[in-house]
Amino acid sequence: MIIAFIILLAYLIGSIPSGLIVGKVFFGIDIREHGSGNLGATNSFRTLGVKAGIVVTLADILKGTAATLLPIWLGSELELHLLIAGMTAVVGHMFPIFAGFKGGKAVATSGGVLLAFQPVMFIVLLLTFFIALYLSKYVSLSSIIVAVTAVTYSIILGDVPLIIVVCILAFFVIYRHRANISRIKNKTEPKIKWM
């Protein structure tokens, strides 16, 4: 019973549409009607500005972190692996019940899962993201590079549950960026201008 409760709660936490809330409460707009139409952090930066984008990014990261730590907080870490709870939040972020099951691309919330479970790995991936972003100016490409790096890092660590979950999360990230990949190939993907 407690496992089902944690999974449900993790999904609901992941479903909190940070970008939609920030956009509507502070700007009076629905970010789904602007930019890429995505609820994630990148479109929040593009549509709402840097400050709002940072808030949405941090909120999306913390969703993953909070959900991953639920089994510990509720004394059930022996019954349910932390990564399962975290991955459930990522599913909630991608398919949020509070936003018509159309959510973000799983990058920030996946990062939050790793922040809770493997903080050093999170820091390495964060640095990788900003280096890739500085060199390429593509948020999407940087996210994909981070996903591949995460798989490599988890394999080096040799933690089997981590390897499995990271591979799944990396698949989510890459699959949900498939339109971006096409735009990068066609040289129509927008680049950032602030770095």
Q: What is the pLDDT of residues 127-143, one digit of tens each?
A: 999 999 999 999 999 99
Share of the chain above pLDDT 70, in %: 100
Contact criterion met (CB below 8 Å) for 92 and 13: yes
Instruction: Report d(CA 168, CA 46) in Å as an integer.
Output: 28
d(CA 45, CA 55): 10
pLDDT tens per residue, range 81-129: 999 999 999 999 999 999 999 999 999 999 999 999 999 999 999 999 9
